[in-house]
Chain A
Amino acid sequence: MPEGKDSRWRRKRDAGSGPAQGVQKPDPERLVEAYSDLILRVCYTCLRSTSDAEDICQDTLIKLIARDEPFNDPEHEKAWVIRVATNACRDLLRKRSAHAEVPLNGDEAEGLGADGGDHRSGDPGDVLSAVMDLPASCREAIYLYYYEGYSIRETAGLLGISESAASQRLSRGRARLKEALEGGENDG
């Protein structure tokens, strides 16, 4: 798979499935409609679980309502939401790992495993399972690049890493996916 973006993976962003257009008053219903599923997917990608997604969604949207500074455009707002939700997930993981009194096994420390049968996603499917088995750094890059349709440059900006690091994470993720999926087929 070349680094150049296949146009069909841009459809998500261009379709405007996330934010509402133009400058609008912060209406909770609009924000939930626009961003809750996006935040849910961010949480699932980062935490491998959706159990904390509702709390993170509420916290993120409260921060969005409290924000005084206007956004340049809907894409700016959407990128802000993704960053805040991602940071909230990372904070949660950090908090869990910092509290020794809450014993968590490996799966729980990152959330449910993809095979954990998350109730919202139903059967995650082979590919989704394989993606969710990747390291968090690769999962986040794959989500932003393939699902949200961001370019490598934008993905790097959202993750706070260099473009080469973003490319590397995508390449590594794809290589591991290929190995996992082809290996699975051979085994089967």
Chain B
Amino acid sequence: MDNQMDEYIEAMDELSFSDEEKKRMALEIAKRAEEAQHSRPAQVVRMPKRRARWPFRAVAAAALVAALGFGGTLAYAEGNLDVAMGYVKDLFTGAPANTEVVGMVGCPIGATDTCNGVRITAEAVYGDRCNYTAVFSIEREDGEPLGIERNLDSAGEYLPLMFEEGATLDIDGMRGAAGSSYFYDADPADNAIQYVAQLSVDVPEDGGIIGRTARIEFGNLLDVGPQFDHPRVLSEGDWSLKFEMNYQDSTVLLLASVPLDAKTEQGKDVKLAQVAVSSLGISVEYTIDMQAGGNPPAQSGREDPEARAAYDAVAGVPVIVTFSDGTTFDASNSSVFIKADENGGSFVRKSRTFNRIVDTSDIAYVTVGGTVIEVSSAGVSPAA
């Protein structure tokens, strides 16, 4: 077999382009590279001015949550193994794309993948310790439009698209996340559309999203049609991206040093340790003198009622955000991290993304388990 492999190597050695072919390719590459440099448009990512209440949002959100795990998942503290595995993967698949922070927003550099002529690029990431929004552009490499069947009334609004094989957004060291996603066209004048994922992550007690590697997988871009009744594959393929989650944390701490008492929906006493808001969402940390125990309750099927009740008792602190215009946002059903302690108690962190990007100075107060935390009385001025 050794001699045969030598023969194989010698035969492959003979395989080469001629000098003339190499010269021709070098000239062509230089020409195309120059053209690309001069025609490369500035990349501008804009959020839609207003949002339609399309049922697609629910469809996309459900699909994403299904891919990532349901809201209110339990997380355990074995995240370090995931981080280590992430480093091993990086050895052979290249380090994650660097992310340059521009203002508050991180702009991943070179986080792009192309399949079947369709390119997906991570354009921007923004968030806080537990929540983030990631914006991806999707475009055909040949400059042609993707061929989406649009409702004429929906210009600038959500596009009726989804990833048929799911969209998986994993962050090293994190065990679960929940959120929503949507597609829109930031600039109808170009051939790109945008995919936005807003996620709340089960962040471990001593960790955060920033600085970790995000690993993204998309499969088969599907156009479900303006009425969501004519699904067709827009682009078949698998896309894989990764980049560093590097952005400026927009968190504003409302409660950090003085613990407050609050109650769960089931009447259990809790000690609030931290309440923080950002433009993207809210996170609440507290301790409770009981444990959820056992495995996370199943999303469906045969669920252990006792496990469900214990989980609800530990995680069931109602969280309501009230804005200065009187509107409220219920963040009670959120992504949950629970860590049991040695004394029969638990540390709990609940985090939830808002349904829009907010100005934190518009938040009047937050109600956690019946305790009202006035933004002004918290002694912390929300960031501009």
Provide the bound-state CA to CA distance between A72 and B96, in Å: 12
The one of A32, A50, A122, A131 that contacts B25, using a Cβ cutoff of 8 Å: A32
A109 within 8 Å of B by Cβ? no
Q: Is the CB of A65 within 8 A of B33?
A: yes
- A36 / chain B contacts, CB cutoff of 8 Å: 16-17, 21-22, 25
Q: Please give me the 4 A-B residue pairs with the lowest Cβ-Cβ distance, nearest first.
A: A157-B92, A128-B11, A28-B29, A69-B110
Q: Is the CB of A69 within 8 A of B92?
A: no
A172 within 8 Å of B by Cβ? no
B98 within 8 Å of A by Cβ? yes
* Interface residue tally for chain A (C-beta within 8 Å): 60
Residues of chain A touching chain B, judged by Cβ–Cβ distance below 8 Å, are 1, 6, 9, 12, 26, 28-29, 31-33, 36-37, 40-41, 44, 50, 53-54, 57-58, 61-62, 65-69, 72, 76, 79-80, 83, 87, 91, 94-95, 98, 120-122, 124-128, 131, 142-143, 146-147, 153-154, 156-158, 160, 174, 177-178, 181
Residues of chain B touching chain A, judged by Cβ–Cβ distance below 8 Å, are 1-2, 4-5, 7-9, 11-12, 14-17, 21-22, 25-30, 32-33, 36, 91-95, 97-98, 109-110, 114-117, 236-237
* Nearest Cβ on chain A to B99's Cβ, whole angstroms: 10
Closest residue of chain A to B33, judged by CB? A65
Q: Is the CB of B22 within 8 A of A127?
A: no
Contacts A98-B236, A120-B15, A124-B11; A6 near B2 (Cβ below 8 A): yes
- 16 A-B contacts (beta carbon < 8 Å): A28-B26, A36-B21, A41-B12, A44-B15, A58-B28, A69-B109, A72-B95, A79-B92, A94-B236, A95-B117, A98-B116, A121-B11, A127-B4, A128-B8, A147-B12, A157-B91
Provide the bound-state CA to CA distance between A53 and B18, in Å: 13
**Does more than half of chain B's interface fall in helix, strand or loop, or is it mixed?**
helix
* Nearest Cβ on chain A to B205's Cβ, whole angstroms: 32
- A131 / chain B contacts, CB cutoff of 8 Å: 8
Q: Is the CB of B29 within 8 A of A177?
A: no
